[in-house]
Amino acid sequence: MRINHSRIGGILLKQRLLQIAGPLVLLLAFVFPAQANTPSASAVASAHPIATAAGHEILAAGGNAFDAAVAVSATLAVVEPSGSGIGGGGFWLLHRAEDNFQVMVDGRERAPLAAHRDLYLDKDGEVVPGLSTKGPLAAGIPGEPAALVHIAEKYGRLPLKQSLAPAIRVAREGFAVDERYKKLAGFMLKGMQANAETARIFLHNNDIPAIGHIIKQPDLANTLEALANKGHAGFYNGKVAKKLVKGVRKAGGIWSQQDLGEYQIVERQPIQGEYKGIRITSVSPPSSGGIALVTIFNILAGFELEEMTETEQIHTVIEAMRRAYRDRAEYLGDPDFVEIPSEKLTHPFYAAGLRNTIRLDRATASNSLPGVVLENAGQDTTHFSILDQEGNRVAATLSINYPFGASFVPPGTGVLLNNEMDDFSSKPGVPNGYGLVGAEANAIAPGKRPLSSMTPTFLETEDRLAILGTPGGSRIITMVLLGALEFAADKPPSNWVSRGRFHHQFLPDVIQFEPNVLSEEQQAQLKLLGHEFKQINRQYGNMQAILWQKTTNDVEAASDPRGVGAAIVEKH
């Protein structure tokens, strides 16, 4: 037997070193616990169990988080048509583990080229009710199909055809109506009945379908197949595009082939911030989400929330929300059209100035701050979060704006169009009843993207990572904030998604809150400070969240109990 003396010598030396260094290593391990480089499991949390299953199906087939994101987005378009779809758009926040590259894929809708500032005003300059919310005139040029192709081609590992397969299959085979679908269809019934194609697909005998009724969408399956086979051109050129333009124009809309042909996603740098050791990564304009979230956190960073009573905490958080929402309306819009002072708005010094205007013994009346009107922000939308076992992650919030969007489907396409044009200010620069001026930054212009509140977000400390987001119109940002504060307090994702919610958006100057979230006593105390209230008579939001605990390498996921979603963690 040949003995390698030098190796044995090396082993002895190592043993001796370990004897000396052992206690030191133990101490270091205690102070800096070992960090897992890759998660022990993958996780998908989405607003519908079939979409969550589609994500896991693609991960199990060898796809990464980005392929899974394509599958989940497209499947949500089929099984949750009230929230998002390929007739809409959204923001996909991506993190690639191998090089820590982060990007936001902006697949937000664009105003048609024939749109103009006064599109929704009558000859007297008054807003025509319903014009920016119902029918094809309300629809921006969809961005989701372009985003799915882009994500699959640039970041995915599987062919687009494979990632779209689950959605195509479910569109053909159908899905069962659940309680949530039934409720939202009831809410939008009149609008859906007004368009025969929409009613044919999404209603049953022109009425709200019963729970368990199967909705099949063969036209949508064909459109998704065209996308799968031809990529970008499968939707934006050729037969599908022709049918889209024809259907829109015939019903009074203004889309053209040029609008579809010109549509491109934009890759943008996410907004970054920090709150007490937590790195915040969120979306940049044309969503207001990231900037507003970071502004609020920067303001709060100067307070010791944990040392306050619950009422003091609520007051302080409300005052931070009030200021961030004022800035949102004043400054934010499509960055390709307006100069946005992002650096200033997310700078801790700027927040310090805002913080100095907060009094702990009194609410600041919104009308004592220079004011602008908050634009509409739709009530629906959807969110999903994904983590794969390589550590790639996606937070995506997608929308067609109102439930079932514009309630309009161009015949033969199966594509339910968004009413995202309503996210523009219809009447900027004109004082309203309060004497406040609407936001110029978000005025309608051809090819412009409307301002959004969608806030898909990553939060990261040395040892924990969170992926979260929610639908919910203008309340999205404050829901993500409240979820993030739970993360900051080291609570599990089940708390982030289920905690009671309150909200302030500068105007109207009221604290909005879910039933039973503010006790009588808290309301009385807050009233003494000068706050007014509006209890929302139903719960809101549908948060989908994932936590990766790097020290234990545990992965947890949670889906908002207010919805019917599914959060599933799986080792592949």
Residues with catalytic roles = 381
Size of the residue set binding ligand GLY (CB under 6 A):
11
C-beta of 106 vs 420, nearer to ligand GLY: 420
Rounded distance, CA 69 to CA 63, Å? Answer: 10
Count of CB atoms situated within 10 Å of the CB of 309: 10
List the end-to-end C-alpha distance of the chain, in Å, as a whole number: 43
Counting contacts by CB under 6 A, is residue 473 touching ligand GLY?
yes
Q: Quick one: which segment of 42-50, 147-155, 375-383, 486-494 binds ligand GLY (CB under 6 A)? A: 375-383
Asked whether 389 and 41 are in contact (CB, 8 A), the reply is yes
Closest separation between CB of residue 434 and ligand GLY, Å?
23
**Can you read off the two tokens belonging to residue 98?**
């191998």
**How far, in Å, CA of 58 to CA of 81, rounded?**
21
The token pair that represents 396 in the structure block: 């995506």
Residue of 286, 310, 278, 302 lying closest to 441 (CA atoms): 286
| 399 near ligand GLY, rule: CB under 6 A | yes
Nearer to ligand GLY, 385 or 399 (CB): 399
Tell me the residue type at 131: L
Alpha-carbon gap, residue 322 to 329, rounded angstroms: 11
| Residue 82 contacts ligand GLY per CB under 6 A | no
Which residue in 453, 494, 522, 542 binds ligand GLY (CB under 6 A)? Answer: 453
Which CB, 278 or 536, lies closer to ligand GLY? 536
Q: Convert residues 37-76 into a mask of x (bound to ligand GLY by CB under 6 A) and - (unbound).
A: ----------------------------------------
Q: Which of 381, 470, 525, 544 binds ligand GLY (CB under 6 A)?
A: 381
CB of 540 to ligand GLY, least distance (A): 13
Q: Report the nearest approach of ligand GLY to the CB of residue 85 (Å).
A: 13
User: SS3 sequence, 246-304?
Assistant: HHHHHCCCCCCHHHHHHCCCEEECCEEEEECCEEEEECCCCECHHHHHHHHHHHHCCCC
Write the interaction track for ligand GLY spanning residues 172-201; mark x where CB under 6 A is met and - where it is not. Answer: ------------------------------
455 contributes a contact to ligand GLY by CB under 6 A? no
Q: Name which position in 259, 423, 460, 509 contacts ligand GLY (CB under 6 A).
A: 423
Place of tokens 């949750």: 80
Nearest CB to ligand GLY, comparing residues 340 and 358: 340
> 311, 442, 452, 544: which one contacts ligand GLY (CB under 6 A)?
452
Q: Alpha carbon of 194 to those of 49, 198, 406, 413, 500: distances in Å?
A: 30, 8, 11, 18, 36
**Pick from 143, 333, 378, 428: which binds ligand GLY (CB under 6 A)?**
378
Considering the rule CB under 6 A, would residue 401 count as an interface residue with ligand GLY?
A: yes
Closest CA to 421 of 379, 470, 378: 378
Pick the closest to residue 78 from 161, 184, 181 (CA basis): 181
CB closest to ligand GLY, residue no: 452
459-69-231 Cα angle (round to 5): 140
426 lines the binding site for ligand GLY (CB under 6 A): no
Q: Is 442 in the site for ligand GLY (CB under 6 A)?
A: no
The C-alpha atoms of residue 383 and residue 44 are separated, in whole angstroms, by 11
Q: CB 474 → ligand GLY: shortest distance, Å?
A: 7
Rule CB under 6 A: is residue 377 a binding residue for ligand GLY?
A: yes
Site track for ligand GLY across 512-531, x = CB under 6 A: --------------------
Give the ranges where 439-492 is alpha helix by DSSP (H): 476-488
Q: How far is the CB of 247 from ligand GLY (least distance, A)?
A: 22
Closest separation in Å from C-beta 89 to ligand GLY: 8
| Contact status: 403 vs ligand GLY (CB under 6 A) | no
Nearer to ligand GLY, 177 or 451 (CB): 451
Alpha-carbon distance 16 to 353, whole Å? 58
Query: Which of these segments, 67-75, 204-212, 302-310, 376-384, binds ligand GLY (CB under 6 A)?
Result: 376-384
CB of 108 to ligand GLY, least distance (A): 8
Stretch that binds ligand GLY, among 25-33, 237-245, 374-382, 537-545 (CB under 6 A): 374-382
Residue nearer to ligand GLY on the CB measure, 88 or 493: 88
* Closer CB to ligand GLY, 138 or 555, in the complex: 138
Of how many residues is the chain composed? 572
Type of residue at 309? T
Residue among 19, 40, 74, 529 at smallest CA distance from 316: 529
Q: What angle do CA 525, 527, 533 make, to 5 degrees?
A: 120
Nearest CA among 118, 164, 121, 114 for reference residue 139: 114
Residue ranges that bind ligand GLY, judged by CB under 6 A = 377-378, 381, 399, 401, 420, 423, 452-454, 473
